């Protein structure tokens, strides 16, 4: 057993002869990582040995991991309450001052407790005793220890902040990773979680369709993946730019090096749906229907929604987002027939298709030049916005603009950035090969016959209709629409029989 030399040892032993004194020991570390090591057991062993040599009976041991820099610590309060409620306990043992307190508010609370209950606080490694009879010189020494403990935590906080800022500048998020990611302890970076990451990717993909509310999206994720995310947390996730590779740290935006879960175009679509700017967000639905998010009501412009009748028949009707009104319900079979009639008007002779492809291939230099110009122009606009944001941030710090103005401007720039990033991603991914491939696919769609349309499943018909048609609206009886380019040109030439003359 270790031997402790102390100026008050004789007095304690003498006091103990009249009756064994009762006390507590308190072992404390400041982080969960330390809790998993040897600091707590080592402290406890030291304090037990000290108390035994002082002849004090230990009636309770406190051992916990908790920060001492915050006033009103839960476990620290439990220690003080125990001593208030057990007046026969007159001694408490701590390893040193910074295990007792690292802020002056808590140190004052301890001093008040010592004065009111006439108890002793032993700081073993510093050979200090806080007690009612302590002289002014000893109080000064103890106060200095408390100030040093506070200075230690202040310096530690400054070093942590400095390290976090450096990490953020290097593109690594210093905080806790968002759902769907995990921390790699070896590389000290953020990586995709093997299972939760897939659920997050699915979450964005589903919500971007416009067919889900956050409530129905949550249920769909549970059904498909088993992952349970609260509705409020789901909403925060859908709004977070962390999933497109960005993060904000201490008011500054950074481009992160962590994996992106969603492209800018999809995120912009999700952002639009959440903000309600499209005016046609669909309500929660249990089923996914073939022609969802395709046709609007001719009367008020709200999106047609679908529902099942008698568990079998599907009908489309106005979602009544601008108030209820009378409109016929449109059977899905009838809507399929009208859409099919529109799609199958597109006919393109094979020799014409081959000629256009040859012309496109010969013109590849112009296409690539235009693509590079889009990349240059978009990148320049993004740099300009970054400059505006930086200057506005400095103006906010200097008081030239208030917080409300800063938030308004930031929201505006974020929306512009999302749009430009989507344009940038689209232009980056479009080379000549993909352009020609898209045209080939377009021409294949132009060969769809009425018989082939009928062989397609409902969802396949819906996908094809969305590629070919735009601005579809219905009054419940008829359908109006426009052809997307270049299908409008193909239909016009076929209608005028120009293909035959060519």
Residue that is written with structure tokens 């035994």 in the block: 52
With b meaning 16 or more CB within 10 Å and e meaning fewer, what string describes 34-47? eeeeebbeebbebb
On whether both 200 and 119 belong to a single domain, the answer is no
Residue 191 sits in a domain of what CATH number?
3.90.1750.20
On whether both 377 and 264 belong to a single domain, the answer is no
Cα–Cα distance, 357 to 363 (Å, whole number): 10
pLDDT above 90 (res 75): no
On whether both 131 and 188 belong to a single domain, the answer is no
Q: What are phi and psi of 344, to 5 degrees?
A: -80, 0
Q: Where are the alpha helices (DSSP H) in 226-331?
A: 231-239, 264-275
On whether both 58 and 124 belong to a single domain, the answer is yes
- Reported as a single tens digit per residue, the pLDDT across 96-151 is 876 676 565 666 777 777 888 888 888 888 778 888 776 655 555 555 655 555 55
Query: Cα angle at 40 between 141 and 98, to 5 degrees?
Result: 20
On whether both 14 and 149 belong to a single domain, the answer is yes
pLDDT above 70 (res 497): no
On whether both 150 and 187 belong to a single domain, the answer is no
3-state helix, strand, coil in the chain (%, to 5): 55, 15, 30
With H, G, I as helix, E, B as strand and everything else as coil, classify residue 103.
coil
Query: H-helix or E-strand containing 455?
Result: helix 450-455
Both tokens of 354, joined, read: 């081959």
Chain-centroid distance of CA 468 in Å reads: 35
pLDDT tier for residue 344 given thresholds of 50, 70 and 90: confident
Give yes or no for a contact between 348 and 448, defined as CB atoms under 8 angstroms apart. no
Average pLDDT of span 29-39: 53
Q: Rounded to the nearest 10 degrees, how much is the dihedral formed by the CA atoms of 26, 114, 49, 95?
A: 50
Residue 38 sits in a domain of what CATH number?
3.40.50.1390
User: What's the pTM?
Assistant: 0.40
What does the radius of gyration of the chain's CA atoms come to, in whole angstroms?
35
Question: Which of 234, 225, 210 is closest to 285 using CA atoms?
Answer: 210
With H, G, I as helix, E, B as strand and everything else as coil, classify residue 114.
helix
pLDDT reported for residue 9: 40
Average pLDDT of span 248-262: 86
257 found inside a domain: yes
On whether both 208 and 119 belong to a single domain, the answer is no
Q: In this structure, are strands 21-29 and 56-65 parallel, antiparallel, or unpaired?
A: parallel
Domain boundary among 87, 120, 154: 154
On whether both 148 and 255 belong to a single domain, the answer is no
On whether both 142 and 273 belong to a single domain, the answer is no
495 found inside a domain: no
- Reported as a single tens digit per residue, the pLDDT across 428-454 is 655 555 556 656 666 676 666 667 788
Domain boundary among 238, 264, 286: 286
pLDDT above 50 (res 172): yes
246 found inside a domain: yes
Both tokens of 327, joined, read: 């409109």
Average pLDDT of span 280-307: 74
**Domain span at residue 131?**
9-154
280 found inside a domain: yes
* Residues 6 or more apart in contact with residue 457 via CB below 8 angstroms: 290
Higher pLDDT, 7 or 164: 164
490 found inside a domain: no
Number of domains in the chain: 3
On whether both 22 and 112 belong to a single domain, the answer is yes
Average pLDDT score, the chain: 77
343 found inside a domain: no
23 found inside a domain: yes
Domain boundary among 438, 457, 489: 438
Query: H-helix or E-strand containing 252?
Result: strand 252-255
With H, G, I as helix, E, B as strand and everything else as coil, classify residue 22.
strand
Give yes or no for a contact between 461 and 416, defined as CB atoms under 8 angstroms apart. no
On whether both 26 and 138 belong to a single domain, the answer is yes
Cα–Cα distance, 153 to 135 (Å, whole number): 28
pLDDT tier for residue 80 given thresholds of 50, 70 and 90: confident
On whether both 273 and 356 belong to a single domain, the answer is no
Q: Rounded to the nearest 10 degrees, how much is the dihedral formed by the CA atoms of 61, 63, 66, 68?
A: 50
On the 0-12 / 13-18 / 19+ scale of CB atoms within 10 A, 496 is: exposed
On the 0-12 / 13-18 / 19+ scale of CB atoms within 10 A, 10 is: exposed
Average pLDDT of span 20-32: 81
163 found inside a domain: no
């Amino acid at each position: 057993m270790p031997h402790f030399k102390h100026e008050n040892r004789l007095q304690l032993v003498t006091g103990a002869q009249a009756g064994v004194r009762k006390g507590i020991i308190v072992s404390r570390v400041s982080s969960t990582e330390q809790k998993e090591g040897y600091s707590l057991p080592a402290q406890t062993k030291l304090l037990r040995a000290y108390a035994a040599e002082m002849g004090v009976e230990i009636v309770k041991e406190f051992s916990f991991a908790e920060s001492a820099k915050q006033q009103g610590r839960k476990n620290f309060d439990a220690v003080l309450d125990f001593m208030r409620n057990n007046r026969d306990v007159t001694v408490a043992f701590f390893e040193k001052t910074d295990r007792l307190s690292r802020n002056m508010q808590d140190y004052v609370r301890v001093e008040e407790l010592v004065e009111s209950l006439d108890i002793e606080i032993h700081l073993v490694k510093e050979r200090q005793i806080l007690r009612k009879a302590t002289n002014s010189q000893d109080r000064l020494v103890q106060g200095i220890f408390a100030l040093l403990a506070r200075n230690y935590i202040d310096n530690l906080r400054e070093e942590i902040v400095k390290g976090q800022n450096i990490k953020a500048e290097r593109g690594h998020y210093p905080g806790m990773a968002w759902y769907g990611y995990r921390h790699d302890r070896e590389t000290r970076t953020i990586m995709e979680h093997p299972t939760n990451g897939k659920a997050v990717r699915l979450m964005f993909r589903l919500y971007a369709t416009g067919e889900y509310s956050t409530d129905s999206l949550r249920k769909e994720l549970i059904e498909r993946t088993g992952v349970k995310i609260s509705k409020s947390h789901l909403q925060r996730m859908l709004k977070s730019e962390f999933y497109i590779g960005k993060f904000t740290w201490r008011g500054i935006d950074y481009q992160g090096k962590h994996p992106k879960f969603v492209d800018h175009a999809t995120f912009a679509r999700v952002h639009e749906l959440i903000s309600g700017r499209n005016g046609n967000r669909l309500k929660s639905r249990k089923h996914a229907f073939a022609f969802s998010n395709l046709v609007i009501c001719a009367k008020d412009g709200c999106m047609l929604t679908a529902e099942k009748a008698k568990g079998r028949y599907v009908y489309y009707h106005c979602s009544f987002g601008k108030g209820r009104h009378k409109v016929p319900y449109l059977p899905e079979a009838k809507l399929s027939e009208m859409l099919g009639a529109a799609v199958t008007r597109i006919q393109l002779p094979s020799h014409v298709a081959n000629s256009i492809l040859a012309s496109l291939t010969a013109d590849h230099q112009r296409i690539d030049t235009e693509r590079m110009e889009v990349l240059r122009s978009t990148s320049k606009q993004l740099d300009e916005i970054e400059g505006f944001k930086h200057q506005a941030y400095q103006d906010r710090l200097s008081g030239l603009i208030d917080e409300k103005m800063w938030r308004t401007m930031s929201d505006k720039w974020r929306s512009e950035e999302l749009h430009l990033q989507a344009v940038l991603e689209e232009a980056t991914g479009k080379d000549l090969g993909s352009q020609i491939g898209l045209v080939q696919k377009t021409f294949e769609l132009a060969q769809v016959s009425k018989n082939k349309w009928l062989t397609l499943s409902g969802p396949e018909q819906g996908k094809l209709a969305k590629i070919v048609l735009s601005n579809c609206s219905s009054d419940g009886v008829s359908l109006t629409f426009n052809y997307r380019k270049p299908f409008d040109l193909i239909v016009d030439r076929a209608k005028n029989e120009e293909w035959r003359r060519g």
